[in-house]
Structure 1
């Protein structure tokens, strides 16, 4: 099930933080093909548990209909 949240910070290297609907901050890294001027964008994503903790994966922009 995809989670919903908002990109609250993004760095020049494509890494950043998504704050989900539960106010949990989850780090992510975007691929080179993704555009980087998306701070405050609504997104949906899956999470993965790694050695460093929870990480957002499969980050997608949320559409208005969702």
Structure 2
């Protein structure tokens, strides 16, 4: 299943089943292994950081 990374911008996920919630706010570059870096903002802290798309897809959606 192919996910268009841009389609995730503006959506919310959670780090694992009980971790902090984050918003996907942008896309980054493609990595040598074919993964894509995404820019996220952690709700609790306001911190922005890059996070692998494959990790995002493993995290549960936040409602």
Report if TM-score (shorter chain) is over 0.5.
no
- Higher percent of residues as helix: 2
Bin of the TM-score, shorter chain as denominator length: 0.3 to 0.5
TM-score by length of 1: 0.43
- Higher percent of residues as strand: 1
TM-score by length of 2: 0.45
